[in-house]
Amino acid sequence: MRIFWKNILAVLLLVGGLYYMSQSNLLIAGESQKVITNELTWSVQRLVSKESWVEQGDYLPLNVSYQLLAGAPSTQQRFLSVGLSSVKRAKGSYLIPTLQSLFSQSSPEERSSMVVVVLLADFDISWRVSTVTEIKTAFALELEQGQLVVLHVPQEMYPPYTGLKRNYNDLPERVSFRSKQNLDYSFLILYSASLGQYYLQIEDDVFSAKNFLSTIKRRVAEQEAKKTTWAMLEFSALGYIGKLYKSAQLPLLARFLFLFYQEMPCDWLMGRFRDLMTQKEPILFKPSLFQHMGTFSSFQGTYNKLKDKDFEEQYTNPLAEVYTDMSSYKKHFPKLAWDAGEDFFWGRSPEKGNHLTVVFRGPTLVTGIMVETGSGGKDLLESAQVEIGHDVITTEKDRSCKEFQTVGTFKNGLFEIQEMDKKYTSASSCLRIQITAAQKDWLIITKIRISTKLRTSTNQA
């Protein structure tokens, strides 16, 4: 009986000790001895695919210990894994809106075909705890369904990223920031290598276009049908946003970033990797599927106004009819340059006096105009002016305006003007591109975009 009670007492002491440890708070050494909540983590092994030769044996070992903070990836490979790394910012945070955009812009079928992997790469444990709490609250369903995974890599896994050589005469702080960022991406990419057939790299401060996954799937199918070598497809022209890789090549990419982490920024390294994988030229798709939303950089909270001019989510021009006296090639009609999307107007060699005219359904106060021509440096509009007009007239062939006034001319195939309403204060009924000199090359007008605002008077221009 005495032995029995001793055993009971030992069990109670063990349970009590475990409870005490689970409830204890972690003390952070410092002036204030601030108390923060324990971070609930457990070690996790990444899934290993044998598609890459570097994973088929102990070649170039890259051994990383991961801490799983939330979610658990499915053992069944999906079409797409989406990776992003996030650190504590001096000003603002865009991680939650970025994740909301990824999921809200995807259909249920699309969400079931992807997994989003978030690496919380800051060593501030209190920030990680609060961020994971936010994520668990906002994305409980996605975590439960294996569509979202949150990771951390302990600091001891990182090689030195301070006191490094100053390539390009960068400030030491800048060198440390970009070097650690390369390591963050290396660890993130290595973990994600087996989760999807393809891997998409984005940053933690972007908007996503509607149904971006379906667009990516279609573009991949088109690219594979060409039977040409590719290592990276680009769905944004900005930095390390919207870059797509074959998952079979991720183990190599992860090691490449790790080996050269202190040499140059990640977006420069990815260009070198693409070249080494024998893809000669960038493959960039338009319109872009991702837009930079952040105002302040993750590097020292500096102001960052970077925007992708080819992102057109939810963009629409006003209702209008489009006319031209230039001959269209096949089905590349002039209206395609006005409508949102990937199509464009393609016309045979324009002559002096040719035009493309947009007639608005109603008087419109235009505040900005952007016209982009050419493709790959060819079929640019060499000599033309942009005009706005008023007083709509109808002829036997088309509709136009009675009077026009010039607002500017093309330069290097591009025309752009903003804040027009400061000079042209009344509404317009037409917009016209007037050719001022003949050219031998054909003409591609990829997009005509205008910005407008509500009129405060009934005047028309």
- pLDDT tens for 140-181 read 999 999 999 999 999 999 888 777 777 777 788 888 888 889
- Please give the DSSP secondary-structure letter assigned to residue 151: E
The dihedrals phi and psi of 118, each to the nearest 5 degrees, come to: -110, 125
| Rounded Cα distance, 205 and 129, in Å | 20
pLDDT at residue number 237: 84
Q: Work out the burial of residue 123: count CB atoms within 10 Å of its CB; fewer than 13 is exposed, 13-18 middle, 19 or more buried.
A: middle
**What pLDDT was estimated at residue 11?**
43
Q: How far is CA 409 from the centre of its chain?
A: 32
Residue 62 pLDDT: 83
> Which tokens is 37 given?
């909540």
Greatest mean pLDDT among 1-15, 35-49, 345-359: 345-359
H or E stretch covering 362: strand 355-373
Is the predicted pLDDT of residue 247 greater than 60, yes or no?
A: yes
Is residue 169 a contact partner of residue 24, using CB atoms and an 8 Å limit? Answer: no
Distance CA 40, CA 323 (A): 64
- Predicted confidence at residue 133, as pLDDT, reads 94
pLDDT band for position 34 (50/70/90)? Answer: very low
Q: 351-390: per-residue pLDDT in tens?
A: 999 999 999 999 999 988 999 999 878 999 999 999 999 9
Residue 197 CA to residue 247 CA, distance in Å, equals 5
Q: Which residues contact 260 (CB under 8 A, 6 or more apart)?
A: 182, 269, 272
CA–CA separation, 424 and 461 (whole Å): 8
Q: Give kind and range of the element (H or E) at residue 58.
A: none
Instruction: Output 453 or 284, whichever has higher pLDDT.
Output: 284
pLDDT value at 49 more than 70: no
> Tokens 């979610």, residue?
71
Give the model's confidence band at 39: pLDDT under 50 very low, under 70 low, under 90 confident, else very high: low
Buried b (16+ CB within 10 A) or exposed e, 128-155: bbebbeebeeebeebbeebbbbbbbbee
Write the CA distances from 398 to 83, 352, 417, integer angstroms: 51, 19, 27
Q: What is the pLDDT of residues 273-313, one digit of tens each?
A: 999 999 988 998 877 888 887 554 444 445 456 666 666 65
The answer, yes or no, to whether residue 452 has pLDDT greater than 70, is yes
| Residue 193 near residue 247 (C-beta atoms within 8 A) | yes
pLDDT of 77 over the 50 cut: yes
Q: Which amino acid is at 244?
A: L
CA dihedral 400, 406, 412, 413 (to 10 degrees): -10
Higher pLDDT, 48 or 183: 183
Is the pLDDT higher at 22 or at 326? 326
Domains, the chain, ranges and CATH?
A: 53-292 (3.90.550.10), 320-452 (2.60.120.260)
What's the confidence (pLDDT) of residue 287? Answer: 79
In the structure encoding, which two tokens stand for residue 458, read together? 């009934």
Structure tokens at 190: 């290595």
pLDDT of residue 27 exceeding 70: no
The pLDDT mean for the chain works out to 83
Lowest mean pLDDT among 52-61, 229-238, 440-449: 52-61
User: For 164-261, where are the alpha helices, taking DSSP H only?
Assistant: 172-192, 212-225, 250-259
DSSP letter at 283 equals: E
Sort 257 into a burial class: Cβ within 10 Å, 0-12 / 13-18 / 19+. buried
The backbone torsions φ and ψ at residue 352, rounded to the nearest 5 degrees and listed phi first, read -60, 130
Q: What's residue 385's pLDDT?
A: 97
pLDDT score of 239: 80
The 10s digit of each residue's pLDDT in 416-439 is 998 898 899 889 999 999 999 999
Q: In whole angstroms, what is the distance from residue 141 CA to residue 327 CA?
A: 54
Contacts of 23 (CB under 8 A, 6+ apart): none
Q: How sure is the predictor about 23, in pLDDT bands with cuts at 50, 70 and 90?
A: very low
How far, in Å, CA of 285 to CA of 446, rounded?
13
